[in-house]
Chain A
Amino acid sequence: MSTQSMHIDAYERNWMIFGIVMLALFAAAVSVAAFGMGIQVPAPEQRVDPRTVATDPNSPWSNPGLREIAPGKYDAYILARAIPKWEYLPNEMTVPAGSTVSFYVTSADVQHGFKIQDTNANFMVLPGQVSKLTITFDKPGTYNFICTEYCGSGHGVMYGAIIVTP
């Protein structure tokens, strides 16, 4: 190095190297997760009109619930709402173990959340947007789901369950 180079204390330099290594490690981890393992943040799928999403007969949320699209493969259209009361429609679904369920969740009024216990499903439910996530339930049991975004005085009673039978 030239004589003009700045003097950096060894202790300080070690910390700087540590910081740069951590940045590189996290960048690599994020890249591997996104491009190598295909892990993606649950993104809003499409936009819908929240005023008619629950009433329009052409909208799947006018008839929310679980649909078996093929053996062991399900679509779950779930409507989260605060009016007339805080609830998910439907709030109980039963599937056999090993089922793959694609959740399509939207809100009819305010911002809600959707988190299924013991899975990595946890996303926001916004009026006008559809959130989609696919989960495979291998172990039998009761998987409760709750609202994770404060949505009003009934927020605490907003929950449901997915029952996975053996």
Chain B
Amino acid sequence: MNKYFLHGLYGLLGVIMLSAIAFKIFQPIQVLPRMHLAPAFNLIDQDGKPLTSEALRGQFVIFTFAYSHCPAPCYGIFETLQDVQSRLDEAQLEGIPVTFVTISFDPQRDTPAVLNAYAQSIGADTQRWKFATTTNQTLLKTIIGSGFEVYYERKEDGNFAFDPTFVLVDGWGIVRAEYRYATEVSNADRILRHLGVLAEEVRNSKGTAKLAYEAAHLFLCYAP
């Protein structure tokens, strides 16, 4: 009796360990890491209206950081976003809204009117693509530098040195992906793929399946 119980216990432990290893190796579920909290902010958008981090809850947001006087092609930031916007069907979001937010670090020149004209000139749909900034330079540095961990600095000629970066934030305001440099796969392709992975997690992590998604987080089964 005692012996059968022990053998059963060892067998059960073995099955649990083997399944955990198989889960890690075959990765049936992949997720995006929960990197850190995105900063809260209160900015003014291209229509002169306030744009807060709270208003963006419940949707996927792709943040970029630039300024309207950026000499073309400006690292191809806007081409990438336009590419993502036109191919959004590929991500199979099934109703989860995606908003683009471009935060300008040049509030002296980028007034709401200038940002609005700039949005028109690059053909941005301002319902889904917001351009925002604030005249409070300290707040701006705190949001972009400390919060999103993106570098920008004004040069002597009035232009800016900065690292072109895309940041993907989920509906809870958590940073799930950062795109800091060109990789083998283009940034637009990676953003679309990651949006799809994120949407799948939001759709499926209910009830028992939620535990499987949490296990994917625990075992670091991250989508490439």
How many inter-chain contacts with C-beta < 8 Å in the A-B complex? 52
Question: B150-164 interface mask toward A, CB cutoff 8 Å, 1 = contact, 0 = none?
Answer: 110100000000011
- B182 touching A58, Cβ below 8 Å: yes
- A69 touching B3, Cβ below 8 Å: no
Task: Judge if A47 is at the interface, Cβ distance under 8 Å.
Answer: yes
Shortest A133–chain B CB gap in Å is 14
Shortest B166–chain A CB gap in Å is 12
Interface members, chain B 161-215 (any A CB < 8 Å): 163-164, 180-184
Q: Chain B interface residue count: which class?
A: 20 to 34
Shortest A14–chain B CB gap in Å is 20
Please tell me which one of the listed residues B3, B141, B163, B183 contacts residue A60 in the complex, with CB atoms under 8 A apart: B163
Question: In the complex, what distance in Å separates the CA atom of A26 from the CA atom of B145?
Answer: 39
Interface members, chain A 11-46 (any B CB < 8 Å): 35, 46
Shortest A164–chain B CB gap in Å is 20
User: Which residues on the B side are within 8 Å of A71 (C-beta)?
Assistant: 141
Q: Chain A interface residue count: which class?
A: 20 to 34
Please tell me which one of the listed residues A2, A49, A69, A73 contacts residue B182 in the complex, with CB atoms under 8 A apart: A49
Shortest A36–chain B CB gap in Å is 12
Which residue in chain A gives the minimum CB-CB distance to B149? Answer: A69
User: Which residues on the A side are within 8 Å of B142 (C-beta)?
Assistant: 70
Please tell me which one of the listed residues B141, B151, B153, B181 contacts residue A48 in the complex, with CB atoms under 8 A apart: B181
Task: Judge if A59 is at the interface, Cβ distance under 8 Å.
Answer: yes
Instruction: Name, among A2, A59, A69, the residue most crowded by chain B CB atoms within 10 Å (CB to CB).
Output: A69
Task: Judge if A138 is at the interface, Cβ distance under 8 Å.
Answer: no
**A-to-B contact residues, CB < 8 Å:** 1-2, 35, 46-49, 56, 58-61, 67-71, 73, 75, 102, 104, 130
